[in-house]
Chains A and B, each alone.
Chain A
Amino acid sequence: MLKLSQIIEEVGLKSVYLHNDCEIEHGYVGDLLSIVMRSAKENSIWMTVQSHVNIVAVATLTGIRAIVLCEGMEFPEDTLQKAQEEGISLLVTEENAYRVSGKIYSLGVR
């Protein structure tokens, strides 16, 4: 288990919206929402390339605490607004999901 702020710093992620410095227990990678919804665990950090507003609904439903948007993409305004309402942290990175996940995994997050 690691604090979100530790992950952000060690991996080099950029905060778009930081809700709180929560404990992260698990990591998850996925872009098909149906699969994320059935597989992601509570208190996870989620790496994806999906940026549409539904990702916030998925995070709320599953207990994902933070979403990392990979490959240099940007969150649209409606996603940012919804995340602020729902209390889901949003992070971005230029790197791809494989590299980011590898880095988080090597910090001990399973």
Chain B
Amino acid sequence: MIGMTESIGNEFLPNENKVYKADLHIHSCLSPCADLTMVPSTVCTKDIDILAITDHNTAENVAAFVCLCRDKVVIPGIEIHTFEDVHILGYFSTLSDVMEVSKIVSENTNPFPYDPETFGYQLLLNESEDFIGMLDNYLGFPTNLSIDQTIDLIEKHNGLAVFAHADRKFGVIYQLGMLPKNAHFVEVRKRETWQELKSTGHIVLTSSDAHVPDEIGSRKIFFQNDAFSGKIDAHSVISAVALGRFRTIWD
């Protein structure tokens, strides 16, 4: 286990003229459905400035990306698979918060041993990008956490909860037919959904949900420098998202 620090080292100093490109939904080689090439040395060469690592039901590879992608802002994240088969993203300012959530998610999941040859390898990385092990229980199945419990868990650990790809399979609109009343932050795939949800006062973003390197940055959001007050790090990016201070590819 890599040593964890409270603050994320990766940050940018403010730069008036810059527009920052952010992809806030990227899987690492730890997600069973993601390619083995989703490692820092590949992911961090892509043309984005800010990225979130959001593996299924775990955050155990986040630290490797934080350590190795020093010239990017890496947001510690997780994509939690609820009991209702809905995916919810959690974004955190610190490694310790996301790791605590990752641990609680694991404690609230029934263990499912599985065949990685058939359903995909779940590979753990260390800070030198060595493969140091595998997670034996399938990360692709639902946890025992409901949507409400998941949002509560994320928020109790100072995180921002976003409904992932709401208008697609494993998305809340697809699974439940509608957005829950208390939903505020939503990630979408389609322009039509973006337009509709913006008009009803939601904060709507779009990200790649990249499982292979070529998908990184295929959908993204943009921050102007004035979205941030001070340095640009995980904390200030999350605050900017929460305030809707960004543009999507459709704005």
Note whether A and B form a binding pair.
yes
Give the interface of A toward B (CB within 8 A): 32-34, 37, 50-52, 54, 57, 60-61, 82, 85-86
Set of chain A residues within 8 Å of B141, measured between Cβ atoms: 33-34, 37, 54, 57
Chain B 127-152 interface residues, beta-carbon cutoff 8 Å to A: 138, 140-142, 144
- Is A52 touching B118 in the complex (CB atoms < 8 A)? no
Question: Could you write out 9 A-B pairs with CB less than 8 Å apart?
Answer: A32-B85, A32-B142, A34-B142, A37-B110, A52-B170, A54-B141, A57-B138, A60-B118, A61-B114
Whether A86 touches B118, Cβ cut-off 8 Å, given contacts A32-B83, A61-B112, is yes
Tally A-B pairs: CB < 8 A: 32
B250 within 8 A of partner (CB): no
Known: A32-B83, A32-B142, A86-B118. 9 other contacts (CB 8 A): A32-B84, A37-B110, A37-B141, A51-B169, A52-B169, A54-B141, A61-B112, A82-B118, A85-B118
Whether A57 touches B140, Cβ cut-off 8 Å, given contacts A52-B169, A82-B118, is yes
Set of chain A residues within 8 Å of B84, measured between Cβ atoms: 32
Q: A60 to B118, alpha carbons, bound, how many Å?
A: 11
B12 within 8 A of partner (CB): no
Whether A54 touches B118, Cβ cut-off 8 Å, given contacts A32-B83, A34-B83, is no
- Min CB distance A29 to B, Å, is 16
